[in-house]
């Protein structure tokens, strides 16, 4: 997947599968209840994690 490819291209250790599964499962929680506080917090967390991944793309090292 894309995150593994990014890690390999930068000679970084591969991310843990469990962490990736947790990140992917955020979408399921968001769909389950669109207006709860939990969903707002999780969507902000998801956005922050996606920003971190974009920063990894831009940075020369890990």
Distance, CA of 24 to CA of 27 (rounded, Å): 6
Q: Concatenate the DSSP letters of all residues of 42-58 into one string.
A: HHHHHHHHHHHHHHHHH
Locate 37 and state its tokens: 């506080």
pLDDT of amino acid 1: 58
Q: Structure pTM?
A: 0.42
Per-residue pLDDT of 5-50, as tens digits, reads 777 777 777 666 555 566 667 677 666 666 677 778 888 889 888 8
pLDDT of amino acid 42: 83
């Amino acid at each position: 997947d894309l995150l593994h490819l990014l890690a390999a291209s930068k000679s970084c250790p591969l991310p843990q599968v469990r962490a990736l599964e947790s990140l992917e499962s955020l979408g399921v929680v968001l769909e389950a209840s669109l207006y709860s506080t939990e969903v707002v917090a999780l969507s902000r967390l998801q956005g922050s994690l996606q920003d971190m991944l974009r920063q990894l793309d831009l940075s020369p090292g890990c």
